[in-house]
Amino acid sequence: AEKKDLKIGIIGIGVLGSVVEKFFKEKGHQVYCYDKFKKVGDTIGIGSIEEVNQADAIFICVPTPCDANRECDTSIVEEAIGYITGTQKIIIIKSTVIPGTTDRLQQKYPKNLLLFNPEFLTASRAYTDFINPVYQIVGYTPRSETKARDILGILPRARFNWVIPAIDAEAYKYFRNCFLPTKNSFCGEFLNLCRKAGINFDNIIKIAGHDPWIGPVHLDPTQDGHEGWKGLCLLKDTEALFNWAKKRGVNLSVLGAAIDYNSEKLASQGIGAAIDYNSEKLASQGIKKDS
């Protein structure tokens, strides 16, 4: 059952945080927001952490860029959670974080209850995507498991719902954000073959788009007048997962080939990957272009 009296806090009011704010306000919840980088008119920063700390459930919607080593930088997430005072607060991380992060932060902040709830939306239709999810995933820690279904109950309703360990939920977000560009890179290579062999690639992807084993998304390697994928989330998440796996002795060679192919394809068109590794600058730009 939905709990209208649950006070909602949001840290990070970029693309994602803004839709979370709109959704809960429209549902009649009291909502408190904080973003020290958000620019409103000539003022930088909205709300206060003191206001957010009045909430019962606090959503973390801050950026997780790649750092200088091209690994996932969770420092902004950790800073945000560090602001939260009190006990038994439900903290829901929506930012993309490397598997194991929610459990690690739960151990660091044992007085509160941490969950992970990944988001899958595109900036151009962010609110529509948010309120019409195909599925919801709520990842829990051993300490927060009893609260997972409560949070699922206040989120936009989905046809499919999974309440699973946080590490699995975190891994799925990376699986999706890395599988789709890998699929797109294969389509890019097949387009090259079609050009050489006099084959109409449009016919190929039209048919493939109606094949339930393949699906219509990420089949067209041409976007915004260029070939290759360039969305911020896909660029940073493919790099972050590849390097995280490498540290664990696993070579994700197929993903690595997709990253290399894409980098070469963008470079051949005079386009840089343009990942800005400066966390503070990224935070000031809001959040996720296409998560």
What percent of the chain is predicted at pLDDT more than 90? 81
| CATH architecture of the domain with range 172-283 | Orthogonal Bundle (1.10)
Placement of tokens 């920063």 in the chain: 45
Q: Is the fold of 8-165 the same as that of 172-283?
A: no
Question: Is the distance from CB of 238 to CB of 231 less than 8 angstroms?
Answer: no
90-102 core/surface letters (b: 16 or more CB in 10 A; e: else): bbbbbbbbbbebb
* Structure confidence by residue, pLDDT tens digits, 53-89: 999 999 999 999 999 899 999 999 999 999 999 899 9
- Residues written for the chain: 291
Closest CA to 237 of 281, 181, 174: 174
pTM of this prediction?
A: 0.90
Position 276 pLDDT exceeds 50: no
How much is the pLDDT for 11? 97
Residue 2 has a pLDDT of: 54
**Confidence band of 157 (pLDDT split at 50, 70, 90):** very high
Yes or no: say if 185 and 158 are a contact pair by the CB < 8 Å rule: no
Q: Which of 31-45, 125-139, 241-255 has the lowest mean pLDDT?
A: 31-45
Average pLDDT over residues 170-193: 97
Domain ranges for the chain, please list them. 8-165, 172-283
User: What is the rounded average pLDDT for all residues in the chain?
Assistant: 91
| Contact of 171 with 245, CB cutoff 8 Å | no
Q: What is the mean pLDDT of residues 235-245?
A: 96
Higher pLDDT, 198 or 123: 198
57-66, 208-217, 224-233: least confidently modelled range: 224-233
**Measured on CA atoms in the order 109, 113, 118, 121, is the torsion positive or negative?**
negative
Segment 221-230 shows an average pLDDT of 89
- Residue 251, C-beta contacts closer than 8 angstroms, at least 6 positions apart: 245
Q: What pLDDT is attached to residue 72?
A: 95
Give residue 208's identity as a one-letter amino acid code.
A
In whole angstroms, give the CA distance from residue 184 to residue 94. 25
**C-beta atoms surrounding 148 within 10 Å:** 25
Q: What is the mean pLDDT of the segment spanning 88-102?
A: 98
Q: Looking at the predicted structure, is the pLDDT value of residue 284 above 60?
A: no
Q: Is residue 274 within 8 Å of 264, Cβ to Cβ?
A: no
Model confidence band, residue 155 (pLDDT cutoffs 50, 70, 90): very high
Of 193, 170, 80, 182, give the one whose Cα is nearest residue 117: 170
Confidence band of 3 (pLDDT split at 50, 70, 90): low
> What pLDDT, on a 0 to 100 scale, did the predictor assign at position 224?
81
State the CB neighbour count (10 A cutoff) for residue 209: 13
13-17, 37-41, 59-63, 287-291: which range is least confident on average?
287-291
The rounded distance, in Å, linking the Cα atoms of 285 and 120 is: 19
Highest CATH level, class, for 8-165: alpha beta
Per the structure block, which two tokens stand in for 17? 């945080």
Q: Is the pLDDT of residue 266 over 50?
A: yes
Other Cβ atoms within 10 Å of 165 Cβ, number = 18
From CA 89, how far away is CA 53, in angstroms rounded? 9
pLDDT given at position 104: 98
Task: Give the rounded distance of the alpha carbon of 191 from its chain centre.
Answer: 29
